[in-house]
Amino acid sequence: MTRPSSTIVAAVAALALTSAFGGAYYLHAHDGQEAPAKRKPWPRPTPPPPPSPIYQASPEPAPGADEIAAEAETHNRRIALELERALLTGDMRAREAAFTFLLPELIQVEPRLVVDMIAAQKPGEPRDTLRTELARQWISRDPDAAVGWMQTLGDDERRASAAAAVRVIGAVSPRRALAIADQLGIGFDPYLERVVLGWAEEQPHEVARWLAAQPDGPRRRMFEAQLGRSRRALGQHP
């Protein structure tokens, strides 16, 4: 066997020595480094300064308890007067603002003021406009109170107010709208047909049960005929 030369032996020994020292250096390279410092918390906000002991007198007197009570008693009546003023001027922008801001407040706190206002108006466009708007808004907030008021009106005004109320409720609750129409004596209003047809498109079985519970008569037969025509136009079986 040929013996390795001294040059090869020396090279192998040097390579082994270098690997040993290199591995030891890699393993202990991070021994002298410190651990990362912990994150410091955010400092607390500075407290506000104490209130100033210096006060300035207001030129306007502060209202007393009696004045506050008197203001509360007259507040609703002043709103009613502003509503009536906007109604009678005929300004469409003023009316819209009054119906948007003043009328809802009165309906919530003292609707009787609006009812009295309508009763005091002479027959004509201002009375009809306010009566219709009251019916539309009141029926959404307090249906029982609104129906009770409409039942006190004459036939023409009751039907006109009821039609406005039913149009508002019909888009949300067809069954409730039809019940209100029954309470207020609306029998053949064309809008009721549209309410029933729209209801039948979404809940046909509910409409069928509702019709079956209605008393036999011209109104029921009218709805049945209208539904039949609508189904035939859509190619549906009766």
**CB under 8 A, 24+ apart: contacts of 22-27:** none
What total of structural domains would you count in the chain? 2
Residue 185 makes CB contacts below 8 A (sequence gap 6+) with 158, 159, 162
Question: pLDDT-derived band of residue 8, with 50, 70 and 90 as boundaries?
Answer: low
Q: What pLDDT is stored for residue 204 in this prediction?
A: 87
Q: Is 163 in the same domain as 90?
A: yes
Average pLDDT, the chain: 82
Query: How wide is the angle at C-alpha 90 spanned by C-alphas 85 and 94, nearest 5°?
Result: 65
Q: What is the pLDDT of residues 167-183, one digit of tens each?
A: 999 988 999 999 999 89
- Least confident interval from 21-25, 120-124, 126-130, 191-195: 21-25
Q: Print the domain residue range for 207.
A: 187-238
Q: pLDDT by residue (tens digit) across 146-163?
A: 999 999 999 999 999 999
218, 198: one domain: yes
pLDDT above 70 covers a percentage of the chain that reads 80
Residue 83 has pLDDT above 70, yes or no: yes
Say yes or no to pLDDT of 24 above 60. Answer: no
pLDDT at 23: 46
- Global pTM reads 0.68
* 40-54 residue pLDDT tens: 677 777 888 888 788
CA-to-CA distance for 98 and 79, rounded, in angstroms? 9
What does the pLDDT read at residue 25? 41
**Whether residue 140 is found in the same domain as residue 118:** yes
**98 or 14: whose pLDDT is higher?**
98
Q: What is the pLDDT of residue 38?
A: 66
At 232 the pLDDT is 79
* Judgement on whether residues 80 and 177 belong to the same structural domain of the protein: yes
Answer yes or no: is pLDDT of 97 > 70: yes
137 and 197 belong to one structural domain:
no
Model pLDDT, residue 53: 80
- 152 or 229, which is more confident? 152
More confident of the two residues 166 and 17:
166
Higher pLDDT, 57 or 117: 117
| 121 shares its domain with 155 | yes
Residues 181 and 191 occupy one common structural domain: no
* Cα 86 → chain centroid: 27
Q: List, as one string, the DSSP characters of the chain.
A: -PPPPHHHHHHHHHHHHHHHHHHHHHHTTTTTPPPPPPPPPPPPPPPPPPPPS-----SSPPP-HHHHHHHHHHHHHHHHHHHHHHHHH--HHHHHHIIIIIHHHHHHH-THHHHHHHHHSPSSHHHHHHHHHHHHHHHHH-HHHHHHHHTTS-HHHHHHHHHHHHHHHHTT-HHHHHHHHHHTT--S-HHHHHHHHHHHHH-HHHHHHHHHHSPSSHHHHHHHHHHHHHHHHTT---
pLDDT surpasses 60 at 31: no
Q: Are residues 211 and 143 in the same domain?
A: no
Q: Please report whether residue 31 resides in a domain.
A: no
Is pLDDT at 27 greater than 70 in this prediction?
A: no
